[in-house]
Chain A
Amino acid sequence: QVQLQESGPGLVKPSETLSLSCTVSGYSINTGYYWGWIRQPPGKGLEWIGSIHQSGSGYYNPSLKRRVSISVDTSKNQFSLKLTSVTAADTAVYFCARGGIGPAQGWFDPWGQGTLVTVSS
């Protein structure tokens, strides 16, 4: 069965770049699906960050687009998130998830367990 696992630093300094990876197991990332990142600030709701296709084609949240890039590494069966110029407002649990066969199609399932990233000096 498909499993996703986020990894990366749990602490990032303000103005630096947040980098996370999501390793997919039990399923090839090369199967035509979109793969997404969603975050959840402590005690708050969910916010979609962006989604990427195996081909490298991606869609990003308009409010984060300036600072976000998502890439895919099919050789490692991984996809990655970079968020630049972080502030305390970027402190959140970051989830990765499998999306649908199109950017507007499908749903996020399954999800990784999430990883807490704190932005602090």
Chain B
Amino acid sequence: QSVLTQPPSASGTPGQRVTISCSGSSSNIGSNFVYWYQQLPGTAPKLLIYRNNQRPSGVPDRFSGSKSGTSASLAVSGLRSEDEADYYCAAWDDSLSGRGWVFGGGTKLAVL
């Protein structure tokens, strides 16, 4: 059971806008930045969004991140076939049981 909660799957047709949610708590998302990673099939994860809503150079502006309270979202607009991948949210957790990085369980995005 992951500390951050994501829907296991999401889907959309080419050109559509899809959002993926990530729910946490006051000890992680509520008090720290959220990061998003994209993992294409058979490859290593790649940083997609940092510090809630910042895009690294080279990441298309079709990808955007947001955070509100203890939840965060990743939006993909103008969906393309090459966006089919697994998406993971992550945050630092300052819980009493131990500090460290926590990930969501991942969301598999299908482009129909």
Contact = CB atoms under 8 A, between A and B. Distances in A.
Interface of B is mostly: strand
A48 B101 contact: yes
Interface residues of A, number: 25
Interface residues of B, number: 25
Contacts of B88: 45-46
Given A45-B88, A107-B50, A109-B56, A95 B44 contact: yes
Contacts of B106: 45-46
Nearest to A99: B101
Nearest to B51: A107
Nearest to A62: B98
Interface string A38-78: 10000001111011000000011111010000000000000
A59 B100 CA distance: 7
Interface stretch (A10-18, A22-30, A111-119): A111-119
A61 B98 CA distance: 8
Contacts of A95: 44-45
A95 B43 CA distance: 11
A104 interface: yes
Interface of A: 36, 38, 45-48, 50-51, 59-63, 65, 95, 103-104, 107-114
Interface of B: 2, 32, 35, 37, 43-47, 50, 56, 88, 90, 92, 94, 97-106
Given A46-B37, A46-B90, A114-B44, 14 more contacts: A46-B45, A46-B88, A46-B103, A48-B100, A48-B103, A60-B100, A62-B99, A65-B98, A104-B99, A107-B90, A108-B37, A109-B46, A111-B44, A112-B44
13 contacts: A45-B103, A45-B105, A46-B45, A46-B106, A48-B101, A48-B102, A61-B101, A62-B100, A103-B92, A109-B46, A109-B47, A109-B56, A111-B46
